[in-house]
Structures are given as structure tokens and as C-alpha cells.
Amino acid sequence: MTSYTEQATSEVAEINERLEETDDPREGYRMVLERIAERRARGERIPVDLERLERVLFAECNAESQGR
């Protein structure tokens, strides 16, 4: 059985790979929000790394929308 930490690390690594394939931070932010929503719906903890990634992408989206 895969541990919680291994699963969370794998999930964040997968998202990071997909983020490298897109130039649009909004797409990455949407992916992260979907993963968080899925975990919440299943009653699972949200990995710290996933929460951190969500905050970083949110900041990037805000900066981009303000022309920075």
C-alpha cells in the first residue's frame, strides 16, 4: 500500500510535470483546485505541498492579470 506522503509527493510531481507543458498558470491553478476539491470530497487531508502549490499559482495568476 502506498503511504500518504508517497501519494502526495507523486501527485504534486505529476501536477508539476503538467505545469511544465503549459504556459498558462490559470490552467495549472485549475488543475490544483480540482485535485484539492477531489480530496475534500473524499474527506482526505490536503497535502501541504499541494496547498503551497495552490498559493504559488494563485499569486502567479494575480500577477499576470495585473500585467506583471
Contact between 66 and 31 (Cβ < 8 Å): no
Predicted local confidence at residue 2, as pLDDT? 62
The C-alpha atoms of residue 18 and residue 27 are separated, in whole angstroms, by 9
Task: Give 9-68 pLDDT, tens digit per residue.
Answer: 888 888 888 888 887 888 889 999 999 999 999 999 999 999 999 999 999 888 888 776
Predicted local confidence at residue 12, as pLDDT? 84
Predicted local confidence at residue 22, as pLDDT? 81
How is residue 2 written as a grid cell? 502506498
Q: Quote the domain boundaries for residue 35.
A: 4-65
Predicted local confidence at residue 21, as pLDDT? 87
Reported residue count of the chain is 68
Q: What is the DSSP code string of 12-27?
A: HHHHHHHHHT-S-HHH
Tally of domains within the chain: 1
Predicted local confidence at residue 32, as pLDDT? 93
The amino acid occupying position 68 is R
The owner of cell 506583471 is: 68
Predicted local confidence at residue 1, as pLDDT? 54
